[in-house]
Structures are given as structure tokens and as C-alpha cells.
Amino acid sequence: MNARHVAPLLALILGAAGAAAAPDKCQIETMDIPVRLVESRPVATVKLNGVPVPLLVDSGAFYSFLSEASARQLNLRTKPAPDGLRVYGITGAVQALRVTTVQSVVLEQAELKGVEFLVGGNEINAGIMGVLGRNFLSVADTEYDLAHGVVRLVFPKGDCEKTSLACWAGEAPVIEAPLISYGRSDRAVRVPVLVNGEKLRALMDTGAPATALMIGAARKAGIAEADLTPSGRTGGAGAEFAREWTTRVDRFELGGEKVSNNRMRVTDASDNEYGMLLGLDYFLSHRVYVSRLQGKIYATWNGGPIFAKGEPTAGAYDQRYAAKAEAIAADDADGFARRGNAALVGGDPARALEDLDRAIALAPTVALYHESRSRVRQALKQNKEALADLDEALRLDPTLAEARLHRAQLRMAGGDRDGAGQDLAALDETLPPSANLRAPMAQMHARRNEAPQALKQFDLWIRSHPRDLRLAAMHGDRCWMRTRMNLEIEQAIDDCKEAVDLDGEEASYRSFLGWARLRQGEAAAARKAFDRSIELKPLAWAHYGRGLALSRLNEPEKARQDFEAARRIAPAIDESVRKAGFEALAGTVKRPE
């Protein structure tokens, strides 16, 4: 079943109750999809062939996806995508695209048979196994009430073409804007916006954690390169990275709403269809209704900052213009839990704790509520209480792999090395070989200097994720562990070379390669690797390593300059090098007085 067949089936399932409505009266039928917000991601649970599968709710994705590893875990057969089908995200094309057919998809009260999913792209954290895209989310009108953890599919009936569909708004101002469409089959949620007075097209994208301007649009809006503060790189569904900056935006406008003096992300991702992504931060600060029938969006403001980078002073926003939130039923534990998760992602952990306390008081045996509260307590720097919540969550449901990994990390941070090791061992026994969690497990074992366990996890993850965007990082981490521990140096060098080939712009991989060359006794090759690393970014470890290489090449003055440069960047670098396992290499370096 492809996208054009989903809409009529859902309408048939939902529409029976309203079939007798008078044709001149606007009535609606809805399907509520509960959404749990985790790590800045809205997640809905959909049953695929009877198995509950967490999927990212992504209004920016034209179709629904499963990752390669997820399809393998679900024992789904895949086949090559149709000739000519290319899928692009903001970070490039999705590689090696395939297709699978899921025999049974259960979305709340609706069961659909024989639904196609695309297979490919990068895995997302937070236990997410794929993407719920617009072939589901845009089959009808869609209401996004993510501050309360709900997405609604809405089927208007009767004379609704001129009716305001923001029925919750009350006296609050309603934002209205037309949808920009390029054809009958175009289901993207694009709207016209003004940024510093310049007209732009914005894609409303729940899958983007934060709002961002494309670099070309930022320039059009009068933002100069000198106004950009570098903030790293970001990934997406595609095979490439995009650079990111932050900047001050004087004015943003959408449908009558005006927001002044906000910091916002800028990315060099390229897309000709829009100049801006309105991300999850915008959806959390607004309740949004997308009307396919009327070709427009409605929205009301929930109160508080509009964008993730907004840091207003007290009283900066006039709450009189916020829509009044609908009350949660006193016995609706899940409603409190979903609102609490949303509050945490929205930057209000105190409110999140209140809601999750209510949820647990109402339903103390629901493990996920305790797991959610542990995240809140950690955000509040209450690690002891966070651990207690994780203990209870795992007592109630020992299969919660994300919670177990989280507990292992907290145990390590608190000095409980044995307890963390027990959690890692339990995860290794119970997770599928291709599980995404094996990546952070490998990194934890590496930090613990447990080479056999780390190598097992690295091997399992790398083998099952041959096209994942994090593949370079995993090769780099495996190289660094082997280099630190002076194990299998030839294989370490192979890993570093692979990391560099996959991502030549990451300075640390070339630094790792330089240290591996030092282990080999190849000072000239090490110097070459460090030179290139420092050209990309002046890392303390690269300067220190080059200092060691130059010392072996009888260039003591240049070596001294590199050691001093390393200490300026990281004053404790001498001790760090020794603690990392390089005492023999650095033993002759004179420490500063």
C-alpha cells in the first residue's frame, strides 16, 4: 500500500460515526496519536507486524522510513528502490535506498495492511527505529499539539471550507498563513515568512530539533559572515554533514506573529524549496493545525520563548496573548507524563517534574514514567534521585534498554564501576546484534579500557551500519582506543585512515592517526598527520603530538613551540597525555615549572 491508499482507508475507519452529519454543518473526526518527546525528538509507537516500534514523527519527511538495522531486527525483506527514486535530506542524498512492505501497521485504532516503507538513512538515537513521515501525517488535516504530546489526524466533514479550524483558540490571537504547494501531490508544510523583512519560504519540520536558516537565506536577510558564530556540524538523513552557526535575527514574522531579537541557527545545508526550517522548538511553543482542505495553517502561541535559542528576561513575553491550555483530566496519567516530557525538552524541568510526579502518583507501575522522571532529575542535577528512578524503571521492566544504558552511564559518573559493568553485560546479552545502542556501549567500554568488550561492540555496530553517518566516528574511536592501549597498531592505523576517508574535515581523526604513527615509531608520518589536523583545527592533542614528533626529528625549538601551544589550549595536557597511556612516548618532555 502506497501513500495514496492510506488516506481513504483511515478516513473509512474513522468516518463511520460522522456519516450521518448534515452536509451543511462542519464536523470533524479525529485520531489522536500519543507522542513522547525524548532528547528533542517527538516519538510515536506504531505496531509493525505486531511489534511496537518507536518512530520519529517527522512532518519534514515525505515518506516513512526504517533504518537498515531496524529492518533487519524486524526480519523484513527489502528490495531495491524503484529506478530513478532519489531521496534527499538537508545533508544530501540517502544512500543505497531500499523498500520493504510491512504486512500489518497498527496506528492507534487503525490497522493497515501491506504498507510500504523506505529503508535507509542514518539511525537516530533515543531508541528510534525509523520515521513516520507525511504519507501518514498528511493523509488528512493534521493538528500538532506537541506541548501536550499529541498529534491528531483530522478528517473534516460537511461545510468546513470557511470555518476557522483553530477551535481551541478562545480569545487568543490566531496565526494564519497559506500553504505553499507545487502540485496536488505535494504534501510538504511550507509557509511564507519574513526574516528581517525579507520574504522566505519555511518548511515546518517536527523532525528538526531546532529552527534554522539556510545560509543563502541568511545572507538574503542581511546577515553578514561576521555576524555568524560557529557551532559545529549537524547531520540528517543524508550522507553528508552540514556546518552550523548561530546568529542574531532582528525580526521573524509568520501570519501576523512577530518575534524580535532572537538567536537562531544557520546551516549551510542547501535546499531550493525553502530558506528556513521551523523546527520542534516552534511546534512546542505553538499549537499548529495544518488544513489540507483550506490550504492554510492555523496556530496559536502557548506562551514562553518561541525558539530554542531564545533566552528572554522575565516579562519579555506578554502571556495575555497565549492560548489557554486545555486541562488534563485528573486521572490521565499518560497525559501528565507526555506533557512532562514536552516540558523537559522545552527547557522547563521544574514543570516537567511536577507533571511526572503526578503521572507516577496515578500509575506507579508504569516503568516509562520513572525512566522519564530520571531524565528530568538529571537535568535538575539530582543524580541520586535519577538513579533511584532508573532502578525502579528497570525493576518494573528489565527490557528497557535505553534506561539500562542511561543507568550504566550514571553509575560510571558516580564511581560505581562494577554496577555499570553489570548493566553493560546485561545489554550485551539481550540486545540484537545490530542494535544501535552498541555504539555507545563500545565507547563506554573503551573509556573503561576494556578492549575485548569494546572491540566486540565496535565490530557488531560497524558491520551492521555500513552507511551510517556516524561510521567515521566509530572507526576513529576504535583507532584511538587501540592507540591509547598500544594494541594492534596496524589495525588502529587502518581505522584512522578509514575515518579520514569517510570524513576528511574532522581534525581529531588525523590527530589520532598521528599518535598511532608515533606508536609505530614513524615520526615523519606522524608529523604529516598532525600538520593536517592542525590546519583543520588547532587541537591541544595534535600540537602536543606534533611536539613529540618534532623532538624525534631533532627540531627542538619547533617542538617547544608546539608544547607551549598545546598548554595554552589545555593547561593540563601533560598530565592528560600520561593518564591516557602515553607515558613512554612523553616521558622525556620537560614539564613546565
- Residue for grid cell 506573529: 257
Closest CA to 124 of 18, 180, 215, 206: 206
**CB atoms near residue 105 (< 10 Å):** 22
Could you tell me if 164 and 294 are in contact, meaning their C-beta atoms sit under 8 angstroms apart?
no
Amino acid in position 508: S
CA distance 501 to 134: 35
Residue 322, phi then psi, degrees to nearest 5? -85, 145
Report the half-sphere exposure of 488 (CA within 13 A, side-chain side). 13
Chain-centroid distance, C-alpha 525: 37
- pTM of structure: 0.90
Could you tell me if 374 and 389 are in contact, meaning their C-beta atoms sit under 8 angstroms apart?
yes
- Give the model's pLDDT for residue 172: 92
- Give the model's pLDDT for residue 84: 72
Cβ-in-10-Å burial (0-12, 13-18, 19+) of 192 comes to: middle
- Give the model's pLDDT for residue 23: 58
Domains for the chain: give ranges and CATH numbers. Answer: 27-158 (2.40.70.10), 469-592 (1.25.40.10)
DSSP letter assigned to residue 290: E
H helices of 243-366, where? 280-284, 333-345, 349-362
- Give the model's pLDDT for residue 21: 47
Q: 349-362 and 367-379 are packed helices; what angle lies between their axes, rounded to 10 degrees?
A: 160
DSSP letter assigned to residue 159: S
Show pLDDT as tens, one digit a residue, over the chain (593 residues).
554 555 555 655 555 444 454 457 889 899 999 999 999 999 999 999 999 999 999 999 989 999 888 999 999 999 998 887 777 666 556 667 899 999 999 988 788 999 999 998 877 777 899 999 999 998 889 999 999 999 999 999 999 998 999 999 999 999 999 999 888 888 899 999 999 999 999 999 999 999 999 999 999 999 999 999 988 877 665 556 788 999 999 999 999 899 999 999 999 876 668 999 999 999 999 999 999 999 999 999 998 888 865 555 444 566 777 888 889 999 999 999 999 999 999 999 999 999 999 999 999 999 999 999 999 999 999 999 999 999 999 999 999 999 999 999 999 999 999 999 999 999 999 999 999 999 999 999 999 999 999 999 999 999 999 888 899 999 999 999 999 999 999 999 999 999 999 999 999 999 999 999 999 999 999 999 999 999 999 999 999 999 999 999 999 999 999 999 999 999 999 999 999 999 999 877 777 76
- Residue for grid cell 531486527: 73
